[in-house]
Structure 1
Amino acid sequence: MRKKCLFFVENEVDSSLEKLTCIDDNPLMCGIYLHLSRKGHVEPSHQDADFLSRRGPDALHTYKTISATEAAQWYLTFSSSVLSLRGNSVHAQPIIDDKSGSIFCWNGEAWFFDDAKVCGNDTQAISKRVFDSVGAQKNSDLAVLDVLDKIEGPYALVLYDAVSQKIYLGRDSLGRRSLLINDASIGIGELTVCSVTAGQSLSKIHEADAAFFTIIDLSTAEPTLYRARPKPPLPIINKQVPMDSHLFTRTPSGETISDLTTQLRSSLQIRVEDIPSYTAYGLNANPSKVAILFSGGLDCTLLARLTHDILPHHQQIDLLNVAFENPRVLNARATSKSITETPGSEVDTYETCPDRVTGRSSFLQLTQVCPERTWRFVATNVPYTEYLDNQATVIRLMHPHNTEMDLSITSALYFAARGHGTATISTSTQQVASYTTTARVLLSGLGADELFGGYARHAAAFARGGYQALNEELELDFLRIGSRNLGRDDRVIAHWGRETRYPFLDEKFVRFALQLPAWEKCGFRPGKPVPKHFETALTPEKIEDLHPEKMLLRCAMWQLGMKGTAAEKKRAIQFGARTAKMHAGKTKGTDTVTIEKPTPNLP
């Protein structure tokens, strides 16, 4: 049976700034801004406009309109920036419907609509369907929501239905794109919706709920906000508990390993194919189109290995690896008698960073298993002073998340996504001292730990209550991933004009992973000791002796010829990159951050 494929074609294209109608082959990623006021139009501040432009460096346009009814008159200001990820031309958002006057801002990738693959321009396909649904004479909310519920892929959106005088805003059910609401002045008839923090008061900013769309009714004297009906529920995790788990082999079945590889390769394929070249950084010879946030760990290296199978071998792939100068670590080393190297030297500071060690090791394995491709290992070294200089920016980007742990994680992502460092090229002995990746698409392994039991707490849950407790912990982690991680990470990474894509969080792949029983994901077995997270990860002789966490992914990696990476232990990014506890003291991960600049006190 042939697969359905949606492709929308219009007879006329008008790209004038007056109408701002975008109907070409160019999907758009962007920054979104909407300000709603009773008093007048309010454009983004200089800093807000700068943050929006960084998310979408190819275009930034503003459109103003007035929504007037007998009850009230509202001034609506829309701004959208554009990051062009396909096609040869750039067209502006917001998108205006000539027929109804409705306005649509889209930040995302619609991979599928109503189970049909979206071919060509996803912005064109979705906006056409949305505009066809606005102004329905009866149940207008249902008509719009029926369209939005059929989208598969990461997105955030704002839709102004000029017929029904309603605004719809929200993001995908997993929360993979950022959309923030600032309702600090809602009492005097003002509201701001933005991809990043916007407005003078940050205290009332919160992320749009991924489980619902929010609707703002402008037909009343005061802006009425209410939740739309719940979105289609997320897939339910398989909580099956075996009658006799002692009969299981240590590893998942061969069929499941094969299915995992097939499903993940399919998820990757739609995310890495047909990406245009981008040469703004001056690299004109075979620029990289895809880069991977690369610690050298299991998840990101598995993505790299499978991406190699998909992309033509002449396309180079960049591996972005980050290491920090941490004064606390350096001071500890300086006072340790067992340290013989010179404290503070570059090799000591960066090359012994855990993620740098595993990164270079996995990079070497990739070059050996996949020698026909040129791989670039981009080593980003972040001095403590540079970390401090950028701290205020990172804190603003991650807001409303505001803990020390948030800062540790997002600092590593912020500098890694910048993509600038010293490049080691696999096909030569050459090192490029100053290199910035041209890739505008970054792959992340986020989601693998939540789906396949990669955290230490999963091992602890199994030790405490077997498969039942493990299932409960896995379900909790999956359900909160959007609120804990994804919007925050999108704001930080997109600041560099790059889009993060999460192959492990593809809807179809998620459904596959959640329907697997726990013993097919993990190697936890009754009577088998679970290695401590700090134990040395040596390459075992047999596949059965791999670490039990994420055993299914380890088996796939093993079968793909990278046994060393298959045995790598899990390490949190803040410890691997050494962004945790950047200065001495009794700071806890749950403490609220400050922007004070402590004295480095480097040895």
Structure 2
Amino acid sequence: MNKTIPQGDPPRLTVESAPVKDLELKLRDSLGLRIRDVPKPPSYRKGDANVAVLFSGGLDCSLLARLSHEILSSDETIDLLNVAFENPRVVAAAANNDKSATSAYENCPDRITGRAAFAELQRVCPGRDWRFVAVDIPYAENTGHREKVKRLMNPHNTEMDLSIACALYFASRGQGTAFESRRGDDAVPYASPARVLLSGLGADELFAGYARHGMAYSRNGFEGLIEEINLDVSRLGKRNLGRDDRIISNWGREARYPYLDEEFVSWVLRVPVWEKCGFGTPDDDEPSLGREKKALRLVALRLGLEKVAREKKRAIQFGSRTAKMEKGRTKGTDALS
């Protein structure tokens, strides 16, 4: 990893900066390797999606969807799998606040950002048939599958692992209600036939997307930030990849990780840290972008995703509301009983 510390203030990143343009090209190349020429199954019918995106509406997955539009044939549908859970604690709180008439699913943060990003993709890429799949999971259904999810994610055994695994488990199943670009507001029951699922895993670790990266910079400057990124990247396989792959492959689908392409990761790690995020530089030109993952946010701006570029990081377990379903005082690091 490049551990160079800038001498003085590092140059400000903009949409026209060479590192941002290079990043777009490198990510496009990585994604292309994973979605071009995916074999169609014998049961394929015109309009079936061959590729789907695990889609919260956040920056990382929306960028993959946007770039997929430029790589895939214009007549291919792309499924956007968006999961939301009925969380009894949240439902009870809403009832106490006289908001019981609102949908437990449509009020999930990831459903809100997912629909907003879906609308932005339709605006920016009007010729593409996007299919937004709203995967709504009742509390009883989630608890009914919980033991199976625990077996699949083993040896991981914390509350956070379970919350993340449940979200991935049901999202990758791909069953829900479909809203298609070309059908307006018509919604139909749907099960995605896509065998390839795109995941945004790795973007936060490589481009300093977590709050702890900002804290590391505040404590120890660029040295602290670089060490935190290095730690995150070094433990990705142990903390995330095995668990996520076992969960997703349970449904006979294959997760593909464009941000974790070997050549892409090697290139990103060779790039100086100030070309990946905005720490240490004034951000008065685009204050709403923030400093975490600034290079990726600028790529999103280059591609017309103005709202997506400004979406803040939200962990999947909080966005889909799988966390703290029964007890509010549990910690993510608590071992499962």
Under TM normalisation by the shorter chain, which class is it?
over 0.9
**Matched residue, 2:326:** 583
What are the ranges of 5 or more consecutive residues in structure 2 without an aligned counterpart?
A: none
2:133 aligned with 1:378, yes or no?
yes
Distance 2:55 2:42 in 1: 22
Distance 2:122 2:140 in 1: 34
Matched positions, count: 337
Structure 1 residues 449-598: aligned runs within 5 Å: 449-525=204-280, 543=286, 545-594=288-337
Distance 1:254 1:593 in 2: 47
**Matched residue, 1:422:** 177
Structure 1 residues 123-142: aligned runs within 5 Å: none
Distance 1:389 1:362 in 2: 31
Runs of 4 or more, structure 1, over 3 Å off, are: 250-253, 542-545
2:34 aligned with 1:271, yes or no?
yes
What are the ranges of 5 or more consecutive residues in structure 1 without an aligned counterpart?
A: 1-236, 530-539, 595-603
Displacement of 1:544 in angstroms is 5.7
Displacement of 1:388 in angstroms is 0.5
Q: Residues 15 and 299 of structure 2 are in contact (CA less than 8 Å); yes or no, is this contact kept in structure 1?
A: no
> CA offsets per residue over residues 463-493 of structure 1, 9 Å max, x none?
1111110000000000000000000110000
Distance 1:268 1:248 in 2: 28
Structure 1 residues 187-586: aligned runs within 5 Å: 237-245=1-9, 248-249=11-12, 251=14, 254-278=17-41, 280=43, 284-336=45-97, 340-341=98-99, 343=100, 345=101, 347-525=102-280, 543=286, 545-586=288-329
Structure 1 residues 3-42: aligned runs within 5 Å: none
Distance 1:295 1:517 in 2: 29
Q: Residues 277 and 287 of structure 1 are in contact (CA less than 8 Å); yes or no, is this contact kept in structure 2?
A: no
Greater strand content = 1
Greater helix content = 2
Q: Residues 277 and 294 of structure 2 are in contact (CA less than 8 Å); yes or no, is this contact kept in structure 1?
A: yes
Counterpart of 2:35, as a letter, is V
The answer to which of 460-469 and 583-592 deviates more is 583-592
Displacement of 1:524 in angstroms is 1.1
Which TM-score applies when normalising by structure 2?
A: 0.96
**Matched residue, 1:100:** none
Counterpart of 1:272, as a letter, is I
Q: Residues 252 and 519 of structure 1 are in contact (CA less than 8 Å); yes or no, is this contact kept in structure 2?
A: no
Secondary structure at the counterpart of residue 176 of structure 2: strand
Q: Residues 251 and 551 of structure 1 are in contact (CA less than 8 Å); yes or no, is this contact kept in structure 2?
A: no
Displacement of 1:561 in angstroms is 0.7
Rg larger in structure: 1
Q: Residues 379 and 421 of structure 1 are in contact (CA less than 8 Å); yes or no, is this contact kept in structure 2?
A: yes
Displacement of 1:591 in angstroms is 1.6
Distance 1:465 1:321 in 2: 38
Note the aligned Cα RMSD (angstroms). 1.7
Counterpart of 2:53, as a letter, is I
**Matched residue, 1:156:** none
Counterpart of 2:117, as a letter, is S
**Matched residue, 1:102:** none
Secondary structure at the counterpart of residue 348 of structure 1: coil
Secondary structure at the counterpart of residue 393 of structure 1: helix
Secondary structure at the counterpart of residue 49 of structure 2: coil
Q: Residues 268 and 307 of structure 1 are in contact (CA less than 8 Å); yes or no, is this contact kept in structure 2?
A: yes
Secondary structure at the counterpart of residue 349 of structure 1: coil
> CA offsets per residue over residues 321-350 of structure 1, 9 Å max, x none?
0000001111222223xxx43x2x5x4201
Counterpart of 1:256, as a letter, is P
Counterpart of 1:490, as a letter, is D
Aligned-residue sequence identity (percent) comes to: 54
- Pick 1 or 2: higher relative contact order, CA cutoff 8 A, min separation 6: 2
Secondary structure at the counterpart of residue 311 of structure 2: coil
**Matched residue, 1:217:** none
Distance 1:356 1:430 in 2: 16
Secondary structure at the counterpart of residue 434 of structure 1: strand
Counterpart of 2:197, as a letter, is L
